[in-house]
Amino acid sequence: MRSRLRLASNQKALAALALVTLASGSALADSFRLLPETFTPYAISADGFWIVGSNKVSGVDYPAKCNGDGVVTQIGTEPGIAIGVAADDHTFLARIGGATGAGYFILNPAGAVQLHFAPAAMGSFQAIRPSIISFIGSSVAGLAFDTTGKSQFAFWDRPQAVVAPPGEAEVLGSNFTMFKVVGSLLNGGNNVAAKWTANADGLWSPTAFVAPHGDVTRAFGMSGDGSVAVGMDLRKNDAGTPVSSSAIVWDDVAHTFSLLPAVQSDPFEKALAVNCDGSVFVGESFSAANKSLHALLWDGEGVHDLRDLLIHGGATGLGDSPLVTAFGASADGLNIIGRNALGRGFLARVHRPNHIRFISSSQPVAFGNNHLVGHVNLDTVTSTDATINLTSDSATLELVPAVHVAAGSYTAPFTMTAHGVDVPTFITVTGQYNGRSMCMVQELLPAVLVSIKPSLESEVGGTPVPFYVFLTGGAGPHGVHVHLTSSKPEAFAFPLADIVIPSGANHFLGEAHTFSVSTSTVVTLTAASDFGIIVTATNTVKPALLLAASLSSETLVGGNPDSLHVTLNGPAGPNGKTITLAGNTAYVTLPASLLVPANATTMGISFPTRGVDAVVHTAVTASDGSIHISKALTLNPAALDRVLTSPETISAGNVTVTVILNGQAGPSGAHVSLTSSDPVHFPVPDGMNIHAYERSGHVTVAATTPDASETVTVTATYHDGTKTGHVTLSH
């Protein structure tokens, strides 16, 4: 069970608390330090290591931080005051003015501006006053002032601003997650303590806290776990004059309230701050009659005058000046800041052995589907092994059930497994040890787009292109919806305009279509998802280029046609693709170019050759810009193909003998020798000529009737080749 001071819901505990007196003195103090006179404290970090405020240099206040040894470090170079610090100890909320301009800013350790809160970004509001920063440092709450000077609750989150419904207010504290913010509403000049919470749409609305008197109530702080709020319940007489006030605790779980016990006879008391688990409160009391002020601490042992408590515990260095107020406490409630009667700031450390000082995460803000490491830090080195039980208020963040701090140590790590989330999610991690609790806040961010990447930076149109859409981590339970667009869908198109990266996945793999283009086309690819995240990439779709060329025949007889085929590395563009041809000689005739039709990848063309007298070696070249592909072509001289006679049978008369080549005769023509097997009855000439570039020649032979029917063989000889023809002479 979480150990928490629930006075309203546990009347027995309340009664015991009221009976405990200052003399009990069971709590021991281990230190007290007056802060430097130049340093004015404003707030203390959750781990108690840093106090933030202002440091006066030559009469000018500058934002500053001070450690437990009283060493002051200035934050930045411009005048102002640091009014809040996140749990990381290096994210500061500050009010500054100077070269940057007057206003409220989030600063880093060097004082550089990380975020500026500007009234101009909030419509009709003329001024703003952020006052508290969240545990993570990502959210800020405060006030916005309209043109009449009236204040309204305002909330900023990286850095969007939301303003609550009209109603004058003051904002003074919150829980660690800043899901609950406390302060007061201004009602007819009187303050009414209130709590603001946001609904599912992010709209904030107040709820007034109930108090026994309720003349004036103010809530000054809230426990880190959000269980209790602390403040003041002021009573007035009939004349409207304040007569007394009580420190009050509102239990926001049981929805009850309790008045904290008073110390001595001071009629005015208020609780100003509370620790993480609602077990320690600090504040002040005042008596006009006695002219006395006291800094107070309430815990499970009762109410204590802080000065007396520290002295009783052995603290030194308090001097003679009373401690008049305690207005800040670390998460464990034992590092306390305040002021003495001289206005000097102080840091007191109340010793409570064997408790958790703070819990931290190595990545306070992380993406879901991630493995994280946390650390538990005890107040002091433990003499025996210590077991700290851990719980998470959401199944989205899984923890080891317990972490063990070994004897002789004060810290130990523990693992956290973060699952995916759909929206920014704040999860409270609570550690329990020795009956006390400590908590921290882990923020999980939904996975968002980080890049879109085609697998190719450039490609020829018509090539399928795998592409990836990457997230910063695994998608949440409902996945991540992504809208895809292409600046030139006629060149590069996504098959689906909308995709979903499923739960747990950190990327999407798809395949896009590209189309043929005439010129190189640069395309912008855009992926857009929730939270306004847009990422882009570029891809170049290139026109198809000449890839290969081939001849149907690389060696042929001159005078016969050949064919050239070209192949592109992709489909031709909308206007087709022109390939330039070269290789014209006295023996080869080519067109100047050929056109590969749109969307086609190949095209062929036939071209003639001419006869040659001897073997000729030439080449045909296809060109596409700087790409040249040459194919060797060998032309051989023509040879005899066949010998024909017409008519093939005759008794007597003229017969035509035709000699045909397998190509064209060369430019010198072709002289063919002829012989007859019966030169008496079929006397052929000794030879015949075939004219240049002709494929055949003929002669007329006068045949006579033989004594008996016979078949005469005509032999043609050319270039050592022979062919025969036959004619039948009948008797």
Rounded Cα gap, residues 190 and 488, in angstroms: 64
Cis peptide before 41 (omega within 30 of 0): no
Residues 6+ away with beta carbon under 8 Å from 13: 5, 6, 7, 300
Tell me the CA distances in angstroms from 545 to 330, 566, 574, 594, one per residue in order.
Answer: 72, 10, 14, 14
Range of lowest pLDDT (102-106, 402-406, 557-561, 694-698): 102-106
The answer on pLDDT for 626 being more than 50 is: yes
546-636 folds as Immunoglobulin-like (2.60.40)
For residue 464, count other CB atoms closer than 10 A to its CB.
Answer: 12
Three-state SS annotation for 367-429: ECCEEEEEEEEECCCCCCCEEEEEEECCCCEEECCEEEECCCCCEEEEEEEECCCCCCEEEEE
The pLDDT score that the predictor gives to residue 23 is 28
Q: Are strands 546-551 and 562-568 parallel, antiparallel or unpaired?
A: antiparallel
Can you list the alpha helix ranges (DSSP code H) found in 419-572?
Answer: none
Q: 119 falls in which pLDDT band (50, 70, 90)? A: low
The pLDDT score that the predictor gives to residue 643 is 97
pLDDT single digits (tens) 456-500 = 999 999 999 999 999 998 899 999 999 999 999 999 999 999 999
Residues 6+ away with beta carbon under 8 Å from 12: none
Going by C-alpha positions, the residue among 120, 117, 197 that lies closest to residue 165 is 197
> What length does the chain have?
731
Q: 102 falls in which pLDDT band (50, 70, 90)? A: low
For residue 389, count other CB atoms closer than 10 A to its CB.
Answer: 13
Residue 99, class by beta-carbon neighbours within 10 Å (0-12 exposed, 13-18 middle, 19+ buried)?
A: exposed
The pLDDT score that the predictor gives to residue 8 is 30
Record the tokens describing residue 193, joined without a space: 């303590």
The pLDDT score that the predictor gives to residue 107 is 84
Range of lowest pLDDT (250-264, 322-336, 715-729): 250-264
356-445 folds as Immunoglobulin-like (2.60.40)
The mean per-residue pLDDT over the stretch 501-527 comes to 96
The predicted model scores a pTM of: 0.69
The answer on pLDDT for 159 being more than 80 is: no
Can you list the alpha helix ranges (DSSP code H) found in 402-531?
Answer: none
Going by C-alpha positions, the residue among 358, 467, 401 that lies closest to residue 88 is 358
Rounded Cα gap, residues 411 and 403, in angstroms: 10
Going by C-alpha positions, the residue among 20, 12, 1, 9 that lies closest to residue 299 is 20
Q: Where exactly are the structural domains of the chain?
A: 1-37+224-352, 356-445, 449-542, 546-636, 640-729
The mean per-residue pLDDT over the stretch 18-43 comes to 66
The pLDDT score that the predictor gives to residue 30 is 67
Tell me the CA distances in angstroms from 123 to 119, 126, 128, one per residue in order.
Answer: 7, 8, 12
The mean per-residue pLDDT over the stretch 657-661 comes to 97
Three-state SS annotation for 545-600: CEEEEEECCCEEECCCCEEEEEEECCCCCCCCEEEEEECCCCCECCCCEEEECCCC
Please give the DSSP secondary-structure letter assigned to residue 726: E
Looking at domain 449-542, its CATH superfamily turns out to be Immunoglobulins (2.60.40.10)
Torsions phi, psi of 91, nearest 5? -120, 120
pLDDT single digits (tens) 530-566 = 778 899 999 999 999 999 999 999 999 999 999 999 9
Rounded Cα gap, residues 516 and 493, in angstroms: 12
Record the tokens describing residue 513, joined without a space: 């279509």
Rounded Cα gap, residues 33 and 675, in angstroms: 136
Rounded Cα gap, residues 103 and 151, in angstroms: 16
- Listing DSSP states for 316-371 in one string gives ----SSPEEEEEEE-TTS-EEEEEETTS-EEEEEEE-SS-EEEEEES-SEEESSEE
Q: 40 falls in which pLDDT band (50, 70, 90)? A: very high
Q: 24 falls in which pLDDT band (50, 70, 90)? A: very low
Q: Are strands 562-568 and 593-596 parallel, antiparallel or unpaired?
A: unpaired
Residues 6+ away with beta carbon under 8 Å from 585: 616, 618
CB 657 within 8 A of CB 643: yes
The answer on pLDDT for 422 being more than 80 is: yes
pLDDT single digits (tens) 53-78 = 999 999 999 999 999 999 999 998 88
The H or E element that residue 17 is part of is helix 11-19
Tell me the CA distances in angstroms from 225 to 42, 239, 393, 425, 590, one per residue in order.
Answer: 22, 40, 10, 15, 89
Looking at domain 640-729, its CATH superfamily turns out to be Immunoglobulins (2.60.40.10)
Record the tokens describing residue 71, joined without a space: 């060493």
Q: What's CA 63's distance to the chain center, in Å?
A: 33
The pLDDT score that the predictor gives to residue 22 is 29
The answer on pLDDT for 602 being more than 80 is: yes
The mean per-residue pLDDT over the stretch 654-668 comes to 97
CB 96 within 8 A of CB 105: yes
Rounded Cα gap, residues 197 and 179, in angstroms: 6
The mean per-residue pLDDT over the stretch 405-428 comes to 93
Measured over all CA atoms, what is the biggest interatomic distance in the chain, rounded to whole angstroms? 171
546-636 against 640-729: fold identical: yes
Mean pLDDT of the chain: 89
Record the tokens describing residue 297, joined without a space: 């601490």
Residues 6+ away with beta carbon under 8 Å from 252: 180, 195, 222, 226, 227, 228, 229
Print burial letters for 350-377: b (CB count within 10 Å at least 16), e (below 16).
bbbeebbbbbbbebbbbbbbbebebebb
